[in-house]
């Protein structure tokens, strides 16, 4: 929801950074890779016991993840870049979940439920994007929902920074993901033949 409705407020800084990185000679795919490395490092940093640094790394990764798409649209978007971007996003999420599970094995079941809900939601999201004739500014149809990338980062941040409510924040994230999946499924029924 925030990615769809609040992007306009951060887009100027994303565009400025995109132009700057382009003048440095970086490509969108290189920035995707940098964002990926920082993102997966976030889970490891958390597992080592540095939650604030892990959250900073996660958000830096997310910012660069937005920058790479803008860079691609400014230069030459590629289908493989889209595949890299979506795949690396899921691996970053897995890294965070594994880092949390390592430090807090007592919430293994809620983390497992969260993982299943992310798979459920992303399956619908990607399938609708693949079969839909609609096209957005991205290289496929982007189904908005209550839980988009920014909401996920907010939940992951809460989970990492406030371990005393970890079980409840994880279950809340799970519920929001399931709601989003159902929201996307209902929209798919409405827009697809």
pLDDT tens digit sequence for 108-129: 999 999 999 999 999 998 888 8
Instruction: Give the CA angle between residues 171, 37, 104 to the nearest 5°.
Output: 30
User: CATH code at 47?
Assistant: 1.20.120.1760
pLDDT(190) > 90: no
What is the value of pTM for the model shown?
A: 0.89
CB 122, CB 66: distance < 8 Å: no
CB 76, CB 129: distance < 8 Å: no
Chain-wide mean pLDDT for the chain?
A: 90
Domain that holds residue 82: 2-191
3 is catalytic: no
**Alpha carbon distance 136, 128 (integer Å):** 13
Where does the pLDDT of residue 2 fall: very low under 50, low under 70, confident under 90, or very high at 90 and above? low
- How many C-beta atoms lie closer than 10 Å to residue 25's C-beta? 7
Whole-number pLDDT of residue 185? 92
Instruction: Note the residue count of the chain.
Output: 193
Choosing from 3, 65, 68, 89, which is the catalytic residue? Answer: 89
Domain total in the chain = 1
């Amino acid at each position: 929801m925030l990615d769809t409705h609040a992007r306009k407020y951060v887009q100027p800084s994303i565009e400025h950074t995109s132009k700057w990185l382009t003048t440095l000679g970086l490509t969108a795919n290189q920035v995707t890779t940098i964002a990926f490395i920082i993102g997966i490092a976030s889970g490891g940093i958390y597992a080592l016991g540095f939650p604030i640094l892990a959250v900073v790394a996660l958000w830096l990764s997310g910012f660069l993840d937005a920058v790479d798409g803008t860079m691609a649209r400014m230069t030459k978007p590629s289908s493989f870049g889209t595949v890299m971007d979506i795949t690396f996003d899921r691996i970053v999420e897995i890294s965070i979940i594994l880092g949390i599970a390592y430090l807090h094995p007592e919430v293994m079941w809620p983390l497992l439920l969260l993982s299943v809900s992310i798979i459920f939601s992303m399956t619908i999201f990607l399938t609708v994007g693949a079969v839909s004739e609609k096209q957005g500014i991205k290289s496929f149809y982007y189904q908005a929902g209550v839980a988009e990338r920014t909401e996920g980062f907010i939940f992951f941040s809460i989970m990492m920074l406030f371990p005393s409510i970890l079980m409840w924040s994880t279950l809340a994230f799970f519920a929001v993901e399931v709601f989003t999946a159902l929201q996307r499924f209902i929209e798919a029924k409405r827009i697809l033949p």
